[in-house]
């Protein structure tokens, strides 16, 4: 079966490597032009001697012609952030399949992993679905479940769980299509949720919210875009935190209740958050202890 792969970054590269290793006939690779995203996938394609295409946008007219000339049976979308138009998705004889890091129809959209953690979900997974012109609305081919641990961040959820599981699932899905045994199960759209891309406008910490919500926001935006607060009017991003249930009824939300050589602790309703790593505005990430020394942070000061 002739496949054409569209993707980027390490995930796309590993899916391509796995398909090649299994002996699948990959007839072309599409990726972006940004070095950070295209680099790993581009390297694997070039090393394997595969036709490589790097359009500025997947909706550029020449992309459809390039797809058509490859005469592919199946399109494989492995971590695609660009909009792929319907005529390109339908160009391969059997259509196109796509990876999404949630159990669809829950958490449609580009930041599915962020919102699963921010919402406090304890279970998520991935979906390989038949791509259509909607946002993650196509029929489901297969799904795999994964636990969200109480201290998982968006980063650990992806890199330790949904990344390796996703590579395996994409290869399994291609195999099912090749064997003519691939399911196509309609999503229950009445159960769908959709969230916007998670950006800084969603990442400000409200210290008046319950401790669990504050903690989920910090870990759900780690490593990107980073939850933030302010001290003395200066923005500071928060990473690598620990939740501390309990606390004192007299502690004011946002008040610094402890500092030491490695961390500082901030009060919020129902407990406190211990911060171990931060990023001052315009600077690199540093340990919270180093930031405490640089700013002279004192117990009793307030973050807002």
- Angle subtended at Cα 153 by Cα 247 and Cα 195, rounded to the nearest 5 degrees: 105
The H-or-E segment that residue 121 falls in is: none
If you write DSSP's letter for every residue of 167-185 in order, what string do you get? HHHHHHHHHHHHTT----B
Q: What is the pLDDT of residues 89-139, one digit of tens each?
A: 999 999 999 999 999 999 999 999 999 999 999 999 999 999 999 999 999
Q: How far apart are CA 294 and CA 283, in angstroms?
A: 13
Q: Which residues of 38-66 are buried (b: 16+ CB within 10 A; e: fewer)?
A: bebbbebbeeeebebbebeebeeeebbeb
Indicate where the chain has its CATH 3.10.25.10 domain(s): 201-295
Q: What is the pLDDT of residues 162-178, one digit of tens each?
A: 999 999 999 999 999 99
Indicate where the chain has its CATH 3.40.50.170 domain(s): 2-191
Query: Over 70: is that where the pLDDT of 248 sits?
Result: no
Tokens of 80: 């695609």
The topology under which CATH files domain 2-191 is Rossmann fold (3.40.50)
pLDDT given at position 251: 81
Query: Over 90: is that where the pLDDT of 193 sits?
Result: yes
The topology under which CATH files domain 201-295 is 3.10.25
pLDDT tier for residue 246 given thresholds of 50, 70 and 90: confident
């Amino acid at each position: 079966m002739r496949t054409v792969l569209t993707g980027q970054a390490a995930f796309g590269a590993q899916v391509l490597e796995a398909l090649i290793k299994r002996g699948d006939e990959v007839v072309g690779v599409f990726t972006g032009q940004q070095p950070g995203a295209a680099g790993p996938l581009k390297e694997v394609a070039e090393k394997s001697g595969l036709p490589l295409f790097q359009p500025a946008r997947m909706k550029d007219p020449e992309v459809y012609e390039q797809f058509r000339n490859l005469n592919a049976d199946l399109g494989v979308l492995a971590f695609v952030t660009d909009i792929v138009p319907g005529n390109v998705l339908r160009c391969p004889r059997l259509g196109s399949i796509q990876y999404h890091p949630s159990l669809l129809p829950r958490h449609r959209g580009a930041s599915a992993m962020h919102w699963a953690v921010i919402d406090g979900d304890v279970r998520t997974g991935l979906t390989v679905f038949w791509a259509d012109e909607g946002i993650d609305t196509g029929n489901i081919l297969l799904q795999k479940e994964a636990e969200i641990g109480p201290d998982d961040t968006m980063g650990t959820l992806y890199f330790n769980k949904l990344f390796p599981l996703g590579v395996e699932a994409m290869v399994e899905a291609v195999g099912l299509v090749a064997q003519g045994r691939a399911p196509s199960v309609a999503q229950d759209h009445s159960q769908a949720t959709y969230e916007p891309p998670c950006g800084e406008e969603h990442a400000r910490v409200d210290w008046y919210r319950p401790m669990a919500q504050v903690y989920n926001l910090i870990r759900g935006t780690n490593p990107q875009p980073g939850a933030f607060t302010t001290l003395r009017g200066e923005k500071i991003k928060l990473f690598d935190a620990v939740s501390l249930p309990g606390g004192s009824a007299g502690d004011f939300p946002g008040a610094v209740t402890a500092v030491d050589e490695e961390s500082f602790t901030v009060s919020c309703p129902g407990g406190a958050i211990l911060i171990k790593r931060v990023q001052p505005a315009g600077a690199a990430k540093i340990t919270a202890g180093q930031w405490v020394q640089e700013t002279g942070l004192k117990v009793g000061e307030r973050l807002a």
